[in-house]
Amino acid sequence: MPLLQILQVPHPLLKRVAAPVERVTDDIRRLMDDMLATMYAAPGIGLAAPQVGVSRRVIVVDLAKDETSRAPLRLVNPAVLWASEEQVIMEEGCLSLPDQFAEVRRPAAVKVSYQDESGAAREIEADGMLARCLQHEIDHLDGVLFIDHLSLLRRQMILRRLEKARRVRA
Ligand code: K1U
Ligand code: ZN
């Protein structure tokens, strides 16, 4: 399975609203398999299609701690149907902003509708890390990054830190 290139900030595709998927075809299923392979290799716990240069509403998620307990989720056209009033602060990272982390406040629990790999309509209720990851990935489909939830000052600090790390590596 080919590994895809993960786009990094400030690639313009990361700020674009992704288009809905009209039909779950073999191409979409192949994309999700390639995204999962890319996510496991990164490593990460989620990935959205725009991060690999495809501006379509597709995400994958797997919170498994090791290869033996993998439980991949493939979500096409995911949408938040309900979000809890309760909000929690958790640390987030993003494969498009490597090695940058920040505490972000979001709803503690969500209910998400989506289509699975066969095109069937499904819903998932989540809290904890799964709720966090689903919200982070759905944000990517709307061109929103976790740093967009931070103050301007903190966002600029992270972007400067990222630039500095790139300069050191170059
Ligand atoms: O969307 C992404 O860039 C993937 C991102 C998902 C995410 C992380 C944390 C909170 C919300 C969403 C990542 O996977 S960053 C890497 C990461 O968190 C991780 C990597 C290896 C093991 C465990 C976590
Ligand atoms: Zn991300």
pLDDT (average), residues 79-96: 98
Structure tokens at 82: 């309900």
137 is catalytic: yes
Judged against a pLDDT cut of 90, whether residue 27 lies above it is answered with: yes
pLDDT (average), residues 106-126: 98
Looking at domain 12-169, its CATH class is: alpha beta
Q: Which residue's C-alpha comes closest to atom 1 of ligand 1?
A: 47
Mean pLDDT of the chain: 98
**Band of residue 1 on the pLDDT scale cut at 50, 70, 90:** confident
Q: What is the reported pLDDT for 170? A: 84
- Cβ(46) – ligand 1 distance below 6 Å: yes
Ligand 2 geometric centre to CA of 147 (Å): 10
- Cβ(45) – ligand 1 distance below 6 Å: yes
- pLDDT tens digits along 54-81: 999 999 999 999 999 999 999 999 999 9
- Cβ(44) – ligand 1 distance below 6 Å: yes
Cα(163)–Cα(33) distance, integer angstroms: 31
**Band of residue 112 on the pLDDT scale cut at 50, 70, 90:** very high
Q: Pairing state of beta strands 121-127 and 101-107? A: unpaired
Structure tokens at 24: 């779950």
Q: Which residue's C-alpha comes closest to atom 13 of ligand 1?
A: 44
Q: What is the reported pLDDT for 129? A: 98
